[in-house]
Amino acid sequence: MWRFHGVSVPQARSLIDAAFGAGITLFDTADIYGFNGSEGFGDAETLLGQVFSETPGLRSKMVLATKGGIIPGVPYNSSAEYLSQALDASLSRLQVEHVDLWQIHRPDILTHPDEIARALQDMVTTGKVGAVGVSNFTQAQIAALRAALDIPLVSSQPEFSPLHLDPVLNGEFDDAVQNGMAILAWSPLGGGRIASPSNEREQAVAQALDQVASQFDVSRAVAAFSWVAAHPARPIPIVGSQTAQRIGELADLAKVEWTRSAWYSVMQASMGKPLP
């Protein structure tokens, strides 16, 4: 929901309905979403809160996730005091008393994991948050925070796409499997480069995806989303489209079945070389 702002409440509701229609129940937002560099901090949460206000019962149909910890110009603050304030501000904008998942958006190097752990545990103890996770943390940062927590760290939100393979290669997905963490993959279309490839590598990835897309009569985007989801860590591709029709395409995800050969062909196209 990083671009979920600047539209009317009925338009916003139509996007949510399109997601429900495609079988999507997880809605991922953040307090920074809507910020344009000078204004708009909290706008995505505010719009979603307005939708909730006008549609009683809608909130109960979704898994609601939000994030905090980014402050424009600082840039990051994970002190216990700030995280508590950020959560309360998000709940107020969303017009809810509880979110199912709350994640630290970016790691604050200047806050000790013990202090972060206390803040996260307080969120769950007070009932304001169902579960906690992290976003854009390194594997070492995840491990340090996990060691300080008395509750599970249930999710990680890294960038992952056919054009960004780091979580597969650096051990993060293996760690997630080992520790039962959900993966929320952001930018699964490579920031739009999969749809509009501009260099030889991107074109090679697009061609490998197109072979599968043609086989199962789906779009290249759906093929990319399904490629992400096919990893044994079961990454959840976070879809950023603000077009109801494009969101609706996600219902086609179940059509695609990846062979090992086809999946690895996309990975090798991205790497620009064959695997050993």
Which amino acid, 104?
I
How far is 225 from 248, CA to CA, in rounded Å? Answer: 13
The single residue of 33, 76, 82, 264 carrying the catalytic annotation is 33
Is the Cα dihedral 262, 216, 160, 100 positive or negative? Answer: negative
* Token pair 């480069």 in the structure block, residue: 193
Query: What DSSP assignment string belongs to 74-99?
Result: S-B---HHHHHHHHHHHHHHHT-S-E
Cis peptide before 75, with omega less than 30 degrees from 0?
yes
How far is 118 from 197, CA to CA, in rounded Å? Answer: 44
How far is 29 from 108, CA to CA, in rounded Å? Answer: 19
Number of H helices, E strands in the chain: 11, 7
How far is 207 from 107, CA to CA, in rounded Å? Answer: 36
Q: Is 33 a catalytic residue?
A: yes
Nearest Cα to Cα of residue 160 among 135, 128, 196: 135
How far is 238 from 184, CA to CA, in rounded Å? Answer: 6
Query: What DSSP assignment string belongs to 191-240?
Result: GGTTTS--SHHHHHHHHHHHHHHHHHT--HHHHHHHHHHTSTT--EE---
Contact indicator for 182, 133 with CB cutoff of 8 Å: yes
Indicate which residues carry an active-site annotation: 33
